[in-house]
């Protein structure tokens, strides 16, 4: 019998093993702050290996369960969750995975610090990063729109580092009529004394084991459409722990993120507090979902990194055709492409965290708010697609083993597949990109920002790439003019390609700026790392940065004709 046993991939401390994250923090943070934060990140990374990986696996294998009735027939609708999931929540609280962003101890860099931690936590956390994203978004919307009473009540829990005090928040936006077009929301709100009572059904509620949630409802008599919706804060349980006029119809039987309990709910006069003034609830909810979309981008970069580190480690251990896989040119090329795509997405996501931190600290430069508004959907839609492609590629690189459940790789694939779906699908976000350009004038700051970044690129080996990005930027400007001057349907048909173009151009400029910094930085002048960063940037920029496909009326008619035939 052949006694050969293949050694599986091994994961180390995700901070210690991530030179890109370390270099990025050296680049962006003041030296003293970087030195202060690094030991904490290293220790947190070790906690992933020692504790969180095991908890994530346990939570995944003990999914939540709905208990509709007590032993004696009383309707109780309790969601039972695993001890591991509860422990993940306690760790998240104690490590400040939400509160760091609000305590702002690191000023404009607080979001960078927070998202560095979330990036380390995500792939081991069995998607506990979903409730954390929702909690972060709820805290932000309440901070922005809530009155003092609501802020005192809710933020003291949502931002607590004490596991006994900490609350996660859910988000209930999706109804049967749609998760994308929320203007058709049917839930109504009736005023009773100082509170509102909500009646309706919610088709997909996220993080439903949370004690509080933000949701949309139409106050009786309010206008139809999304402007007539208002934003509400709900506390799900009364003092005895019973649901407040909420029925849980069922938990969603999802493809992935199995430790997490989204549900279908019926609201039967559920007490709720209005957040801010009446109406324009979608605009207020945007404060939540713009933040959860950034969480999504960081989770995408984190998932890509996890998949790549598994694939690379395995490629060094696994022999085929007389060599380790990593030495086989075709395989090495595939892995290198994955690495370039991951590094680009990493830069894009972390740059948004930097912009957000600056904005919240009141240190944003002119145009940066509009830029962040535009780049948020761009990063979400692009990174989610790239993460799905990257994780699928990593899965394939394991051959049949990647398709086998107990390697953990199928779970990683399943969990990644939700990234393009929740918090806005690719096309919905591409349309949001148009909205940001039209309503917030965000394209001009984008052009200025990329141009400024390209002017900082001085190193000779990067100049050709800088020229390529400049040409692609001009193509985007040309495309924008064409979209502006055409019927709206042309712009909508082109929105996805255009958004991809924005993502690739912007990321190219960030990679070039980073490589330039490494090349110019005295500490790295002789370090070959700056050469490899240059190779990453050049490879990114050699690819198809942006071209706008022709999509005139004839093209649209052709699309309709193509679709006419059954698949």
Q: Which residues of this protein are in contact with ligand UCC, per CB under 6 A?
A: 127, 130, 173-174, 179-183, 204, 206, 226-227, 254, 257, 260, 262, 280, 282-283, 286, 289-290, 418, 421-424, 428, 432, 435, 439
Q: Toward ligand UCC, which CB reaches closer, 227 or 558? A: 227
CB of 563 to ligand UCC, least distance (A): 24
Going from the C-alpha of 292 to that of each of 296, 379, 388, the distances in angstroms are 6, 12, 18
CB of 61 to ligand UCC, least distance (A): 17
Q: Toward ligand UCC, which CB reaches closer, 101 or 262? A: 262
Number of Cβ within 10 Å of residue 143's Cβ equals 17
CB of 204 to ligand UCC, least distance (A): 4
Query: What is residue 152's DSSP assignment?
Result: I
- Reading the block at residue 372, the tokens are 């962040």
Q: Toward ligand UCC, which CB reaches closer, 289 or 443? A: 289
Alpha-carbon gap, residue 333 to 326, rounded angstroms: 9
CB of 316 to ligand UCC, least distance (A): 31
- Residue carrying the six token digits 């493809």: 255
Q: Toward ligand UCC, which CB reaches closer, 286 or 518? A: 286
CB of 521 to ligand UCC, least distance (A): 36
CB of 142 to ligand UCC, least distance (A): 17
Q: Toward ligand UCC, which CB reaches closer, 29 or 483? A: 483
Query: Counting Cβ atoms within 10 Å, is residue 409 exposed (0-12), middle (13-18) or buried (19+)?
Result: buried
CB of 495 to ligand UCC, least distance (A): 12
Q: For residues 92-125, b (16+ Cβ closer than 10 Å) or e, as one string? A: bbebbbbbbbbebebebbbbbbbbbbbbbbbbbb
- Reading the block at residue 413, the tokens are 């694939």
Alpha-carbon gap, residue 165 to 295, rounded angstroms: 23
Going from the C-alpha of 238 to that of each of 21, 196, 271, the distances in angstroms are 44, 16, 10
* Residues whose CB is less than 8 angstroms from the CB of residue 465 and which lie 6 or more positions away in sequence, other chains included: 457, 508, 512, 537, 538, 540, 541, 542
Q: Toward ligand UCC, which CB reaches closer, 281 or 534? A: 281
Going from the C-alpha of 320 to that of each of 314, 317, 385, the distances in angstroms are 12, 10, 30
Q: Toward ligand UCC, which CB reaches closer, 206 or 345? A: 206
* DSSP reduced 3-state for 14: coil
| Backbone Cα Rg of the chain | 24
Q: Toward ligand UCC, which CB reaches closer, 312 or 380? A: 380
CB of 256 to ligand UCC, least distance (A): 8
């Amino acid at each position: 019998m052949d006694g050969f046993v293949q050694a599986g991939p091994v994961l180390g401390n995700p901070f210690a093993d991530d030179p890109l994250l370390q270099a990025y923090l050296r680049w962006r943070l003041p030296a003293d702050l970087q030195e202060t934060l690094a030991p904490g990140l290293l220790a947190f990374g070790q906690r992933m290996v020692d504790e969180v990986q095991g908890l994530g696996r346990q939570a995944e294998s003990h999914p939540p369960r709905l208990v509709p009735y007590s032993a004696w027939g009383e309707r109780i609708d309790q969601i039972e969750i695993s001890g591991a999931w509860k422990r993940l929540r306690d760790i998240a609280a104690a490590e400040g995975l939400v509160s760091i962003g609000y305590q702002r101890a690191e000023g404009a860099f607080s979001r960078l610090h927070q998202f560095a931690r979330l990036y380390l936590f995500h792939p081991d956390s069995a998607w506990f990063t979903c409730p954390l994203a929702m909690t972060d978004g709820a805290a932000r919307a309440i901070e922005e729109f809530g009155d003092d009473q609501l802020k005192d009540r809710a933020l003291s829990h949502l931002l607590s580092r004490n596991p006994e005090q900490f609350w996660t928040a859910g988000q209930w936006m999706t109804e049967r009529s749609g998760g994308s077009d929320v203007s058709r929301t049917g839930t109504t709100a009736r005023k009773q004394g100082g509170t509102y009572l909500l009646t309706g059904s919610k088709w997909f509620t996220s993080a439903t084991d949370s004690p509080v949630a933000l949701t949309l409802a139409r106050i009786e008599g309010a206008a139809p459409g999304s402007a007539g919706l208002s934003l509400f804060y709900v506390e799900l349980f009364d003092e005895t722990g019973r649901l407040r006029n909420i029925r849980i119809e069922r938990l969603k039987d999802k493809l992935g993120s199995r430790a997490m309990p989204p549900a279908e709910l019926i609201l039967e006069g559920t007490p709720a507090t209005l957040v801010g003034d009446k109406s324009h609830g979608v605009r207020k909810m945007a404060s939540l979902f713009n933040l959860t979309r950034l969480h999504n981008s960081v989770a995408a970069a984190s998932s890509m990194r996890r998949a790549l580190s598994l694939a690379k480690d395995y490629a060094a251990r696994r022999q085929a055709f007389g060599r380790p896989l990593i030495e086989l040119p075709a395989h090495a090329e595939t892995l290198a492409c994955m690495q370039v795509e991951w590094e680009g997405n990493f830069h894009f996501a972390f740059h948004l965290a930097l912009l957000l931190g600056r904005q919240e600290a009141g240190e944003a430069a002119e145009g940066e708010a509009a830029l962040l508004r535009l780049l948020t959907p761009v990063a979400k839609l692009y990174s989610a697609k790239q993460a799905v492609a990257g994780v699928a590629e990593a899965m394939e690189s394991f051959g049949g083993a990647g398709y086998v459940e107990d390697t953990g790789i199928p779970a990683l694939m399943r969990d990644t597949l939700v990234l393009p779906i929740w918090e806005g699908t690719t096309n919905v976000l591409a349309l949001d990109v148009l909205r940001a350009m039209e309503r917030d004038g965000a394209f001009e700051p984008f052009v200025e920002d990329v141009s400024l970044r390209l002017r900082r690129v001085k190193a000779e080996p990067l100049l050709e790439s800088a020229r390529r990005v400049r040409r692609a930027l001009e193509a985007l400007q040309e495309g924008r003019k064409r979209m502006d001057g055409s019927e709206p349907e042309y712009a909508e048909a082109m929105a996805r390609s255009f958004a991809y173009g924005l993502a690739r151009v912007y990321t190219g400029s960030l990679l070039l700026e980073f490589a330039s910094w490494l090349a110019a930085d005295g500490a790295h002048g002789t370090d070959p790392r700056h050469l490899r960063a240059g190779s990453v940037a050049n490879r990114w920029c050699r690819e198809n940065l942006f071209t706008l496909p022709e999509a005139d009326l004839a093209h649209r008619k052709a699309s309709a004709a193509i679709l006419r035939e059954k698949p």
